[in-house]
Amino acid sequence: MSIKVTKFGGSSLASAEQFKKVADIVLSDRDRKYVVPSAPGKRFKEDNKVTDLLYKCYDEFSKGQDSSAFEEIKERYNLIIEGLGLDLSLEKEFELLKLSFIGRAGRDYAASRGEYLNGIILAKHLGFEFIDAADVIFFKNDGTFDSEKTNDIMSERLRGCENAVIPGFYGKMPNDTIKTFSRGGSDITGAIVARAAHADEYENWTDVSGFMIADPRIVDNPKYISVITYKELRELSYMGASVLHADSIFPVKAAGIPIHIKNTNAPDDPGTMIVTHTDPAADKTVITGIAGKKDFSVLTLEKDMMNEEKGFGRRLLQVLERHDLSFEHLPSGIDTMSVVINDHELSGKEDDIIADLIESCSPDTIGVEKNIALIAVVGRGMKNAKGTAAALFNSLAAADINIKMIDQGSSELNIIVGVDNKDFEKAIITTYSYFEANKLI
Ligand code: ASP
């Protein structure tokens, strides 16, 4: 028998109807032993997330004011309990919550109650044990997550427990106060539980059927990615594609546990599997995803015989460090070196940096190209497939898009091109259609 840890996001647990879907999913597979819930999310576009209501409620009560958010929170949970027909009352919990908010128990404590209360309801509905995350997830004095203590104590706790619900998003500080992860942090709890349970799979249930090959706001109906490696995911997330909390990757990646993104509203859809690696003999994928971001600047320094000058690169990077600038890429030629920097990092510092670069590196020329968008084509299959770069460049040329920069990561996992901001959407649409027509995706 294998073990699956299932995490359900806020929209999957926003109402009694959604809870019923979740219960069907969990109870249809006995491997789904441990469940990590988020707080109730939005039921419709203008709805409030319970976590946001809790922050509001805390701010109101802790200032000694009345709180309308408090009534809304109680109603959200009571509707779920009634809709499920449960013999459960959270009245005592609500009173305690109110008193501790008035007593200023802390904003993290306040926010954590969303998951805590949802966990109690879900455990009751599933007939699973409830484990308070404060008893199994620990932070250090400096506020960072204590992964080893958590793993030891949580593993031990789960060993004696057939099925459990462990609320997401929070844990305990050494002084017994509650601390939360950053927003969206129930994903992290799910990954921590998966590691501690030695799970075979970490299922992350949400309201989309996985990652898409390209951004659906730009490309009409892009296909879903069926399998992606952790490294590819890192590349695509860096470029702005987001479904999972970035910190949720580490605990499971290190333990070699795959993450399976699934849709609570379409449970039969295959979803996206995130794995450490694939079998190259069986894997025919060339391109996994296309993503990009706008608003970069490229600083280019040119100097005759740069390739023979020792220390040029070091001096250039020292200038960036002195001005507290991080850079994204560093494409270089024989006599040129460029630095790609995010516009918001550069703004306000540009003149000082150029003066410093002239002083420290004595380039023959220095230029700044602004309004650059970066587009990354990511794919583990590129390494072994000829013609991927050609397909990318052909598609852009055919669409009359000028490529201003090219950077291929040395792992051959990606090719990044820089185009004018105004060509960004067109470049992604064109590339996607060209790859699709040529069966590369
Ligand atoms: N409820 C928290 C939030 O809204 C954590 C989560 O849902 O993952 O950010």
Look up the domain containing 68 and give its range.
4-277
Among 169, 193, 205, 207, say which to mutate for ligand 1: greatest number of ligand atoms within 8 Å of CB. Answer: 169
Q: What is each CA distance from 234 to 173, 250, 280, in whole angstroms?
A: 30, 11, 20
Q: Which residue's alpha carbon is nearest to atom 5 within ligand 1?
A: 184
DSSP 128: P
One-letter amino acid for residue 224 of the chain:
Y
Residues 301 and 272 reside in one and the same domain = no
CB-CB neighbours of 426 under 10 Å: 16
Residues 305 and 189 reside in one and the same domain = no
Residues 135 and 215 reside in one and the same domain = yes
Q: Is 40 in the pocket of ligand 1 (CB under 6 A)?
A: no
Residues 232 and 316 reside in one and the same domain = no
Cα(7)–Cα(179) distance, rounded to whole angstroms?
20
212 CA → ligand 1 middle, Å:
22
DSSP 3-state of 372? strand
Q: Is 37 in the pocket of ligand 1 (CB under 6 A)?
A: no
Q: Is 190 in the pocket of ligand 1 (CB under 6 A)?
A: no
Q: Is 184 in the pocket of ligand 1 (CB under 6 A)?
A: yes
Residues 219 and 165 reside in one and the same domain = yes
186 CA → ligand 1 middle, Å:
6
Q: Is 430 in the pocket of ligand 1 (CB under 6 A)?
A: no
In a domain, 232, yes or no: yes
Closest CA to 225 of 187, 251, 261, 188: 261
Q: How many domains does the chain have?
A: 2
Overall pTM surpassing 0.85 (yes/no): yes
CATH number at residue 409: 3.30.2130.10
Domain limit, last residue, from 220, 252, 277: 277
Closest CA to 9 of 188, 215, 252: 188
pLDDT in tens, the chain (441 residues): 799 999 999 999 999 999 999 999 999 999 999 999 999 999 999 999 999 999 999 999 999 999 999 999 999 999 999 999 999 999 999 999 999 999 999 999 999 999 999 999 999 999 999 999 999 999 999 999 999 999 999 999 999 899 999 999 999 999 999 999 999 999 999 999 999 999 999 999 999 999 999 999 999 999 999 999 999 988 888 777 777 887 888 889 989 999 999 999 999 999 999 999 998 888 888 899 999 999 999 999 999 999 888 999 999 999 999 999 999 889 888 999 999 999 998 988 999 999 999 999 999 999 999 999 999 999 998 888 888 889 999 999 999 999 998 888 777 889 999 999 999 999 999 999 999 998 888
Q: Is 172 in the pocket of ligand 1 (CB under 6 A)?
A: no
Cα(231)–Cα(210) distance, rounded to whole angstroms?
17
